[in-house]
């Protein structure tokens, strides 16, 4: 059984300020959102069309899929606009000593 622990993924100074940054973590592509309410992390693929959300429009709270304009709340992962219906997989995250970490 593997123990879960906090893992560093990117330093704050490497984030695109007020935007979304694509981060490779092992075999996973993650989206790190520098949002109005803090830093949030999700899988980078849209749950509808598998497009990379890092290429979408981000307003500081919502990320819009660049393929079909599905919309997600990056704070919760909730799908907010069609055609997206399935919630975005969010990953527990925090900022410690200027580094974004995820709990895996």
In order of their start, the domains of the chain are 6-103 (2.102.10.10)
User: CA–CA separation, 31 vs 44, rounded Å?
Assistant: 5
* CB distance 41 to 102 below 8 Å: yes
57 φ, ψ (degrees, to nearest 5): -85, 130
Which residues is 25 bridged to in the sheet? 28
Q: Report pLDDT for 1.
A: 59
pLDDT tens string, the chain, 104 residues long: the values are 578 899 999 999 999 999 999 999 999 999 999 999 999 999 999 999 889 999 999 999 999 999 999 999 999 999 999 999 999 999 999 999 999 999 99
* CB distance 103 to 25 below 8 Å: no
């Amino acid at each position: 059984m593997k123990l879960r622990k906090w893992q560093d993924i990117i330093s704050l100074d490497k984030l695109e300020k007020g935007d979304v940054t694509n981060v490779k973590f092992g075999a996973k592509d993650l989206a790190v959102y520098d949002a109005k309410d803090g830093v949030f992390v999700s899988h980078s693929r849209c749950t509808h069309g598998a497009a990379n959300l890092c290429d979408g429009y981000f307003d500081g709270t919502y990320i819009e899929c660049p393929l079909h304009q599905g919309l997600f709340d990056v704070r919760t992962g909730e799908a907010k606009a069609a055609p997206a219906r399935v919630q975005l997989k969010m990953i527990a995250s925090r900022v410690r000593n200027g580094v974004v970490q995820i709990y895996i």
